[in-house]
Amino acid sequence: MASSNFFGRLSNLWSGFVSLWVSDVEKKHPEIAYENAINGLVNKYAKLKSATASIIRRREDITERMTRERTEFEQVKADLEAALQGGQDDLAIVLIEKKNAMAKELEGLDGELQQAKVDAEDAKNSLMAVKTEIGKLKSEKDRMLAKMQSAQARIQIQSQIEGISVDAEVKALDTVRDHIKNTVAEANLGKELHHSDLDTRLSELRQKSGSVSAKAELESLKNARAAQAQAQKKM
């Protein structure tokens, strides 16, 4: 007894584990969940269709029985009328009993037929409801899987965007900027060194001195020419 309970608990535990595993798989692959649901409804539809066919067959069988019974009932009524007209009372009594029994039989068959019709309509409605549900699930499957794919694509794009880093590009640009600044500074340093060099300063001084001498000489020449012109006027 204890062993039976143990294996029963073990079976329940394993069933629960399998159920959780299947549920987890269906979450990751929703198409499996939809397929399972659709296949379940398809199987239910097949069984319900078979049951509905049996109910409809029963309705048809009852209808055929009633047709035969009514035909025979009408024949018994005709035979009873003939027996009454012929004065055959003994035969008329038998036919009356048969007619009454058949009337009860027809009444019972009519009740069965009405119930069979109701059952058939209910079965057909249930069958159509399951068929409609299958169609809805198929449409929902396509719609929801499309949404799922769209959401997965958006998540992937967002992950890619979030994972993009500009640090490397900025650092590379900073290196180029530093190199440009260093090159400019080096050029400025050369110019500063050039101006501070003694030879350069002496050369600049000589250029300035030469310019002063030239100006003085130019002034002297101008004065001489002016004096000469003044002398010529006096003569």
Q: Over the stretch 143-189, which tens digit does the pLDDT of each residue have?
A: 888 888 888 888 888 877 766 655 666 666 777 777 777 777 777 76
Sequence-separated contacts (24+) of 69-73 with Cβ below 8 Å? 69/102, 69/105, 69/106, 69/109, 70/106, 72/102, 73/99, 73/102, 73/103, 73/106
Domain C-terminal end among 164, 198, 217: 164
Please check whether residues 74 and 189 belong to one and the same domain.
no
Please check whether residues 13 and 128 belong to one and the same domain.
yes
Token pair, residue 140, equals 């929902």
Q: Tell me the helices (H) and strands (E) count for the chain, helix number first.
A: 5, 0
Domain C-terminal end among 111, 141, 164: 164
Please check whether residues 120 and 104 belong to one and the same domain.
yes
C-alpha triplet 218, 223, 225: angle, nearest 5°: 95
Using DSSP's 3-state secondary structure scheme, residue 36 falls into: helix
Position 172 scores a pLDDT of 65
DSSP summary character for residue 165: -
Please check whether residues 13 and 122 belong to one and the same domain.
yes
Please check whether residues 214 and 122 belong to one and the same domain.
no
Sequence-separated contacts (24+) of 185-188 with Cβ below 8 Å? none
- The answer, yes or no, to whether residue 22 has pLDDT greater than 70, is no
- The answer, yes or no, to whether residue 113 has pLDDT greater than 90, is yes
Position 218 scores a pLDDT of 72
Choice among 10-24, 31-45, 55-69, 106-120 with the minimum mean pLDDT: 10-24
Please check whether residues 66 and 144 belong to one and the same domain.
yes
d(CA 193, CA 189): 6
- The answer, yes or no, to whether residue 13 has pLDDT greater than 50, is no
Domain of 112 in residue numbering reads as 2-164
Please check whether residues 136 and 197 belong to one and the same domain.
no
Model confidence band, residue 21 (pLDDT cutoffs 50, 70, 90): very low
Please check whether residues 52 and 83 belong to one and the same domain.
yes
Give burial (CB, 10 Å; 0-12/13-18/19+) of 26.
middle
Please check whether residues 13 and 61 belong to one and the same domain.
yes
- The answer, yes or no, to whether residue 2 has pLDDT greater than 50, is no
Domain count, the chain: 2
Question: Taking a C-beta distance cutoff of 8 angstroms, is the pair 120, 49 a contact?
Answer: no
Position 10 scores a pLDDT of 45
Position 235 scores a pLDDT of 63
Question: Taking a C-beta distance cutoff of 8 angstroms, is the pair 52, 124 a contact?
Answer: yes
More reliable by pLDDT, 18 or 150:
150
Please check whether residues 75 and 184 belong to one and the same domain.
no
Question: Taking a C-beta distance cutoff of 8 angstroms, is the pair 140, 86 a contact?
Answer: no
Position 132 scores a pLDDT of 92
Please check whether residues 43 and 104 belong to one and the same domain.
yes
Please check whether residues 156 and 174 belong to one and the same domain.
no
Domain C-terminal end among 164, 187, 210: 164
Position 185 scores a pLDDT of 75
Q: What is the mean pLDDT of the chain?
A: 79
